Amino acid sequence: MTNFEISRTLSRVAKVLSFKGVDRRRITDIKILSMTIEGLPFELNRKTLERVEKYLPTKPYLKRILRDLVVYGRSEEIEILLRDVPPSLLELTRIPGVGGRTLKILYERFGVVDIYGLESVLKEGLLSRVKEIGLNGEEIIKKNISKYFKLKREFSLSTAESLFRHIKGILVNHGARRVEIAGSARRKKEIVSNLN
């Protein structure tokens, strides 16, 4: 797995743990590890894994998951965790105002599993009646739902660079002689909307 793939996987794990109501410290640890891996200037492999593991002496569960992802390309712990959560449901956390607690309410009380289900619940005004969300929370989600489609096309510079390294490796393996990054990623813009 590339750093980009590992980072994405860990990010999904953090969202699932938040949805399931797990201890916030554990979620924060996973988010920090995800961001750290995303920003690494080198690709993780069996040889470079120790450079990251040495910073996790008190986090054996993170070491185990990270080692599994780097060495085997998968983690049984993660697969078990993700088994009962629809991926489309996790996508909703990209909408500002929808966190793990709100996601749980949407799923358990209204059966929302995707963006279209959320739009339907918002049109009916059902969220404003939920004590934990209220009218203010519903308005925030309504305002930010349009940003969801825009956010889906934008990512950080470190994510773009990691993705580029992954794509470059594939192209070089298929005979490409010269592959260079271009566009806003080459100009080192913090937010990249395309990868040329």
| Number of helices followed by number of strands (H, E) in the chain | 11, 2
Q: What is the pLDDT of residue 45?
A: 92
User: In angstroms, how far is the first alpha carbon of the chain from the final one?
Assistant: 22
Distance CA 130, CA 121 (A): 12
Identify the CATH number of the domain defined by range 87-151.
1.10.150.20
Residue 160 class from Cβ within 10 Å (0-12 exposed, 13-18 middle, 19+ buried)?
Answer: buried
Is pLDDT at 25 greater than 70 in this prediction?
yes
Q: What are the tens digits of pLDDT across the range 95-105?
A: 888 888 888 88
Distance set, CA 105 to CA 12, 17, 114, 121 (Å):
18, 15, 13, 12
User: Which residues does residue 146 pair with via DSSP β-bridges, in sequence order?
Assistant: none
pTM reported for the whole predicted model: 0.66
Is the CB of residue 53 less than 8 Å from the CB of residue 67?
Answer: yes
Distance set, CA 38 to CA 7, 24, 41, 51, 120 (Å):
6, 21, 9, 14, 35
Q: What is the pLDDT of residue 150?
A: 65
Q: What is the pLDDT of residue 184?
A: 81
Task: Name the percent of the chain lying above pLDDT 90.
Answer: 27
Q: What is the pLDDT of residue 71?
A: 94
Distance CA 113, CA 4 (A): 26
pLDDT band at 29 (very low <50, low <70, confident <90, very high): very high
Q: What is the pLDDT of residue 152?
A: 60
Q: What are the tens digits of pLDDT across the range 104-132?
A: 889 999 999 988 899 999 999 898 888 88
Q: What is the pLDDT of residue 21?
A: 83
